[in-house]
Amino acid sequence: MSELNVNAISAATPITTNSKTNNVVNFKAARTVTKDERMDSFIKDYEKQKKKAEKEKNLQLGIQIGTFALFATMVGIMGHQMGWFKKYKVAFKDLSKEMKLDEMALPDTQKAAAERIRNFVNHHKEIIEMGGPEGSSILFYGPPGTGKNTFAYAITKEFPKAKFLEMDISKMNSKWHGESEQNVLGTMKAAIKYADKHKDEKVFVFIDEIDSVMMQDHGSGAKLSNDILNAFKKGFNELTNKENIIVMGATNLKINPEEARAMGKELDSAMLDRFAEKVLVDLPTKDQIKLAITNYYKNPARKRVDDVLKDFDNKKLDKIAEFLAQPEHETSFRKLVKGILQPTATQKEVTADAKVTLEDVIETIKKNKHNLNVTDEEMNAFLASVK
């Protein structure tokens, strides 16, 4: 029988028979092959090292991903603050439905101011050569509801191909540090970019409630307010350096330093000095109120109106205007139109065929007693005067 290599046979090999000798060979009994512990130990160590390497690799990958995510977040925050990802565009207001200067009930002071502004814009180069101010900038100031915005619209409509950009500073404030300044500067730079590309057009940049960036702040928010103010000054200077840009601002606050200080709302003096023209838009006089009423009811859209309301010289209308024009009643154009004239006309036109009469206007004034700061005694005296 040939020699068997039992080392190469597993101990689990079954019993077999040699066909030539019929001798039974029990390989298991003949010799048992023991397990190699060194090989198992090697394999275990290898698997352990492999898992450890994979774990370290995943950990490093996680750190890299986390670092990248943190970096991306920081870039996003910084970009958000610095305005890197923002595209500032100019959206011009449609003035087609706004009033013209000759349709407004203006006092002589505002008419004169409008003429000065018109001449300044039309003869800008000549004025500079004569030693006049280089920047075209006008500040309208006065009580709320007196028509500052409407006056700005009307002036803009005096110039062919003029564009009107209205900046709402209150919507530019942000919780992100530095973003408010970027919003202000970004919008101003967008206006400058447009003006540079359209030198044949006049671009009016109107900033309503401009005091929100012109207010002197000495409190806890002083640094933030001053940062925005400084950014605004920079943008303002760049705007007024452009020949075809006219900056107009509006505020309800006093511009007289002593009066403003007494109210605790003082505007920045350096910023005030940057305006070449400052125009008071005050509460309307008696004649302005009469003109506003007659013009309002002369509008063709208001057909069912008594002719008395269109008559400027009517004596009762004169009494109404005199009463409303008293300073203590603080009758602004906004109060007059939206609180007295508009509801009367609308109710009559919708609910009845009867004409709107002077008596209807008187009745509406009576109902608006509290809005007009009128006492019962004053109201009774007024009603007696218009009987």
* Structure-token match 């080392």, residue found: 7
Distance of alpha carbon 29 from alpha carbon 26, whole angstroms: 5
Please give the full DSSP string across 66-91, using - where no structure is assigned: HHHHHHHHHHHHHHHHHTTT------
Distance of alpha carbon 245 from alpha carbon 239, whole angstroms: 6
Q: What is the pTM of this model?
A: 0.73
Specify whether the CB–CB gap between 140 and 148 falls below 8 A.
yes
What local confidence, expressed as pLDDT, does residue 76 receive?
Answer: 54
Specify whether the CB–CB gap between 69 and 120 falls below 8 A.
no
CA distances from 243 to 121, 125, 164, 239 (A): 9, 8, 15, 9
**Paired tokens of 295:** 């013009």
Return the domain boundaries, the chain.
Answer: 1-34, 37-85, 101-280, 286-385
* Structure-token match 């101010």, residue found: 133
Q: Which of 36, 39, 33 is nearest to 6 (CA)?
A: 33
Distance of alpha carbon 311 from alpha carbon 358, whole angstroms: 11
What local confidence, expressed as pLDDT, does residue 382 receive?
Answer: 95
Name 203's bridge partners.
163, 245
Neighbours of 86 (CB within 10 A): 13
* Structure-token match 């008071």, residue found: 280
Q: Which CATH number applies to 101-280?
A: 3.40.50.300
Does an H or E element contain 163, and which? Answer: strand 163-168
What local confidence, expressed as pLDDT, does residue 67 receive?
Answer: 64
Distance of alpha carbon 64 from alpha carbon 165, whole angstroms: 47
What local confidence, expressed as pLDDT, does residue 303 receive?
Answer: 82
Distance of alpha carbon 312 from alpha carbon 303, whole angstroms: 18
What are the average pLDDT values for consecutive 10-residue runs of the chain, which has 387 residues? 45 48 49 55 70 74 64 53 60 92 93 91 82 81 95 95 86 56 84 93 92 65 61 88 92 89 85 90 96 92 88 95 95 93 70 80 92 93 94
The SS3 call for residue 17 is: strand
Specify whether the CB–CB gap between 137 and 152 falls below 8 A.
no
**Paired tokens of 209:** 């409630």
CA distances from 287 to 55, 105, 166, 378 (A): 88, 8, 30, 21
**CB proximity list for 364: less than 8 A, separation 6 or greater:** 339, 340, 341, 343, 344
Q: Which of 117, 191, 199 is nearest to 154 (CA)?
A: 117
What local confidence, expressed as pLDDT, does residue 264 receive?
Answer: 83
What local confidence, expressed as pLDDT, does residue 223 receive?
Answer: 40
